[in-house]
Amino acid sequence: MKKLPFRFAFVFVILLIITIPFEHTYIPDMGKCVSPYFEYLVRLSGRYLFNIGHKYIFQIISDSTGMYLHVFNLFVLALLGGFIWGIIDKKLNSYQKLLAGFMIVIRYYLAIQLLDYGFNKVFKWQFYTPEPNTLFTTLGNTPHDLLYWSTMGISYSYTVFLGVIEVIAGILLLFRKTTLLGALLSIAVLVNVLLINFSYDISVKVYCSFLLLLSALIILPNLKSLFIFFFKSENNPGSSSLHYEYPKQFRILYLTCKTLVILFILFDGLSDYVKAKNFNDDLAPRPLFHGAYHVSSFIENHDTLPPLETDKYRWKRMFIHRRGYLIIQFMDESMRDYMFSADTIHKAFYYGTKNDTLLNHLNYEKVNDSTLRLSGCIKGDSIQINLKKIDLSKLPVFQTQFHWTIDQY
């Protein structure tokens, strides 16, 4: 790698690694510590360079405007840093050792992220089973990202398959002899993920692009060897992978440290699943009252409201989300979300929006295992709602629909 491009790439990549927050269980989140300082630069560049007058998310998260401004700022800082570095360091003829260390940093960082995403898929934490309200939202009313998430969530085998591929790529990157294979596999994985992010408008486009860049940087020193291997008939193309050969007296220490680091990475990646005892989120316990409920009758001030499809007031279904939300679907198919909690001592449902100073509440009575009765007041009117729990496992989307032939059709 030429000196000037290397200096720029080194500064740019290292700055991105240490400034983008990424929460892990035990590995320190450097980005969380330093991001406030770089967010100050984001606001300065947004105001004085790009003249952004409207409110925007300046935090360095996901695909926020702040993230894009941050990448631009680091690009400029990397150019300046590489130029100043070149002035100060004129006498250095080679960056061979530094380049070898740089490659270790980026392949270990990439491996950690791939293992993190991979384990999330293997244990079904990322693409979880669609929530009850999602299952009853029509296809035409479902956003692109939620549509993809839900489609993945109903397929256990495919989700686990993708996770296993990411885990394998991450593990291969941890060892020098398999680094190139791991980088090639990660390129294939990340190109697919990036296309999905753009096609379904999933908001990790910038970070995924960065991980793809790291994969390309790992492969870059091996381009000549790969070209010879695939397009020429030479039997021994050699290898351009960069590494530092440790003296024999440090070999045992090196292997010990490497083993401990790899074990720590795996421990960090797997500890959450072990602590939660959740190795398949599809089978994990759900909160009390979680599920979908059909409103069999809706009585307002002693009058039973008919189930008219144009009614924007009468409930059609009620959903309890696993993350503490109550979602009401009205007869016109529109939905409204509320924060939710259940008081099992006083047998009451509390719900409301973030702006409500006082939460609404309805008393509940569990008639039997599948029937609930809610009563109370809504906007001054007395309400009694009878609900029948829907058996989600009987929905067509959860039925086994694999066919070897087309004869069934």
Per-residue pLDDT, 242: 58
* Angle between helices 179-199 and 96-122 in degrees, nearest 10: 60
First-to-last C-alpha distance (Å) of the chain:
59
> What's the pLDDT score for residue 234?
59
* pTM as predicted: 0.87
DSSP 3-state of 330:
strand
pLDDT tens figures, 212-245: 999 999 999 888 888 887 787 555 555 554 555 6
Q: What residues does CATH 2.40.128 cover in the chain?
A: 291-394
CA-wise closest residue to 178 among 144, 222, 137, 148: 222
Residue 313 to residue 157: CA distance in whole angstroms:
41
Q: Contacts from 298-305 at CB under 8 Å and sequence distance 24+?
A: 298/383, 298/384, 298/385, 298/386, 299/383, 299/384, 299/385, 300/381, 300/382, 300/383, 301/381, 301/382, 302/382
- Burial code (b: 16+ CB inside 10 Å, e: under 16) for 259-287 equals eeeeeebbebbbebbeeeebeebeebeee
Cβ neighbors of 254 (< 8 A, separation 6 or more) are: 246
Residue the block writes with tokens 């309805």: 362
CB 360 within 8 A of CB 350: yes
236: its two tokens: 């021994």
**Domain 291-394's class?**
mainly beta
* Residue pLDDT, tens place only, 268-305: 999 999 999 999 999 999 999 999 999 999 999 999 99
With a CB cutoff of 8 Å and minimum separation 6, the contacts of 139 are 147
- Enumerate residues 6+ apart whose C-beta is below 8 A from 77: 11, 12, 15
pLDDT at 193: 96
- The pLDDT, as a whole number, for residue 246 is 63
Backbone angle region of 301, left / alpha / beta, with phi > 0 → left and psi within -120 to 50 → alpha: left
Short-list 41, 42, 18, CA closest to 31: 18
Q: Please list the ranges in the chain whose pLDDT falls under 50.
A: 241
